[in-house]
Amino acid sequence: MPTPVVEIHVPLLSPPDLPDGSDPFPWIEEIEGFLEDLEEQSEVEVFDDGEEYGDVYVFFVTGADEEALLNVASRVAALPDVPSGTFAVVSDDQAEEFGLGRRVGLPRRA
């Protein structure tokens, strides 16, 4: 049976007023740290390393039901410096490609 995977697609945009020579996407490390903390707390599992895909950077989470994974994705989208336009794609571990599942806008409204 397929295991749910939520892809978190973050536009590759730099924060405004970034000092010269700074990492153009500091939110990547912030998101990775946030997801690692959740993984240590057994809330989710990081399914695969994040990667650049066109004009977005994609993070993958699994290890919980779809609703819990979408809540994590929504929390990621609300982190400081994470660009607006972040969205989730609901998929599963048997998908041949990513980005092809159901798209969900983030952050989600309660």
Domain ranges of the chain: 4-105
Could you report the per-residue pLDDT of 43-99, keeping only the tens digit for each? 999 998 999 999 999 999 999 999 999 999 999 999 988 999 999 999 999 999 989
Output the pTM of the full model: 0.94
Q: What is residue 94's predicted lDDT score, i.e. its pLDDT?
A: 93
Q: Which one has a higher pLDDT value, 2 or 18? A: 2
Q: What is residue 42's predicted lDDT score, i.e. its pLDDT?
A: 94
**Quick one: CATH architecture of 4-105?**
2-Layer Sandwich (3.30)
Q: Beta strands of the chain (E only): which ranges?
A: 4-11, 45-53, 56-62, 87-92, 102-105
- In degrees to the nearest 10, what's the CA dihedral of 32, 107, 61, 24? -30
Q: What is residue 50's predicted lDDT score, i.e. its pLDDT?
A: 95
